[in-house]
Amino acid sequence: MKNLITGITGQDGLFLTNHLLKKGSNQEIYGVSRLKKLDKFYSDLGYINSDLNLNNLHISNVNLLNQKEINQYIKDIKPDYIFNLSGPSSVYNSYKNPEKTISNIKTIFDNLINACVEQNNFCNFFQASSSEMFKESHEVLDETSTFGPISPYAKAKYDVHIYLNDLRAKFDWNINSGIMFNHESEFRDDDYLFMKIINAAINIKHGKEKELIIGSLDIKRDWSYAKDVVEAISLITEEKNGDDYVIGSGKGHSIKELVDTIFSYFDLNFENYVIINEKLLRKGDPLKIISNPIKIKEDLGWGIQTSFEDLILKCINYKLSKME
């Protein structure tokens, strides 16, 4: 089976590569990524599983914003599965450059779709959608919940999500959408909240910093481990009838819980170091986003395997291992 993974060097692409290669020698992985991140990618892949056979892993620097390049690439590899995990993923950064964020997300999807149609290759297709598309609600969110995207990132994801439903009907195409809630791992970049808090706690413990400044302690999010989320992605993409699936833990944790758990690991009382600056809050940031993953549980038997506390511990241990 030939698997095309866009955004392969991100945390989801990393875990998906490991997941597919573990299936056996019949799995060919074709990754598209910025080559400047490859050293870290291979290092982290070895951290996950040092016994992987990488002979079936092929990574190319294909410009996903160039229709001609994508057309030729799809023609050459003839994928059986496409996992579109590429594009901007930061809500915060999308406000800094909204036009580029929207253009990149929509253009990459359009180019992949156009290339598949041109080659008459209606392979199993997974699109990474986002819980950011939902309207704020005090209820848990499922596939039937109301959309109300606010950020440029969310609006672009929403437009793609609506379009793929049209494509399913037009071509009878097995295009699946995973509406992913917050998910983290030890391989997240340092500008994401999980790693920002862990780095601050480590630096405070070692006397390198005196405080952590964040926008709020009250916001609640549904955090899962990226490895668990990738297993959901794999199950969804095997489905023969294109559908939408919410992917989340179904449990909410506040940023206060997150900070307290991390700081407690280092024997620190977070109240002595955390400063709240509401100016750091994103425009329209909802107070609570929590999933209801009952559909994927009932249809595919999926559920998270890693607790909130174990997720945090994995991230801390990875950071500490890199300091040795």
User: CATH number of the domain at 2-184+224-250+291-305, out of 3.40.50.720, 3.40.50.2300, 1.20.120.530, 2.70.170.10?
Assistant: 3.40.50.720
> What pLDDT is recorded for position 224?
98
The pLDDT tens digits along the chain (324 residues) read: 999 999 999 999 999 999 999 998 899 999 998 767 799 999 999 999 999 999 999 999 999 999 999 999 999 999 999 999 997 766 767 767 778 888 899 999 999 999 999 999 999 999 999 999 999 888 999 999 999 998 889 999 999 999 999 999 999 999 999 999 999 999 998 989 999 999 999 999 999 999 999 999 999 999 999 999 999 999 999 987 899 999 999 999 999 999 999 999 999 999 999 999 988 887 767 889 999 999 999 999 999 999 999 999 999 999 999 887
To 5 degrees, how large is the angle CA 175–CA 30–CA 67? Answer: 65
DSSP string over 153-181: HHHHHHHHHHHHHHHHHHHT--EEEEEE-
For the 193-220+253-289+311-321 domain, the top CATH level (class) is: alpha beta
Residue type at 189 in one-letter notation: D
Query: Domain coordinates of the chain in residue numbers?
Result: 2-184+224-250+291-305, 193-220+253-289+311-321
Confirm if 179 and 131 have CB atoms less than 8 A apart: yes
To 5 degrees, how large is the angle CA 290–CA 150–CA 308? Answer: 25
Q: How many residues in total does the chain contain?
A: 324
Q: Which tokens go with 112? A: 């992949």
Nearest to 127 by CA among 9, 4, 297, 250: 4
Nearest to 7 by CA among 39, 30, 28: 30
> What pLDDT is recorded for position 101?
87
End-to-end, the C-alpha distance of the chain in Å comes to 39
Other beta carbons within 10 angstroms of residue 108's beta carbon come to 22
To 5 degrees, how large is the angle CA 265–CA 273–CA 194? Answer: 55
Please, which residues have CB within 8 angstroms of residue 102's CB and are 6 or more apart in sequence? 94, 152, 155, 156, 159
The pTM of the full predicted model, rounded to 2 decimals, is: 0.95
Nearest to 130 by CA among 12, 1, 209, 24: 12
Nearest to 233 by CA among 49, 85, 121, 48: 85
Task: Look up tokens 């549904």; give the residue.
Answer: 222
Nearest to 239 by CA among 124, 82, 109, 78: 124
Other beta carbons within 10 angstroms of residue 239's beta carbon come to 15
> What pLDDT is recorded for position 137?
87
Query: 158's torsion region: left (phi>0), alpha (psi -120 to 50) or beta?
Result: alpha
Nearest to 43 by CA among 321, 303, 301: 321
Q: Which DSSP state fits 147?
A: B
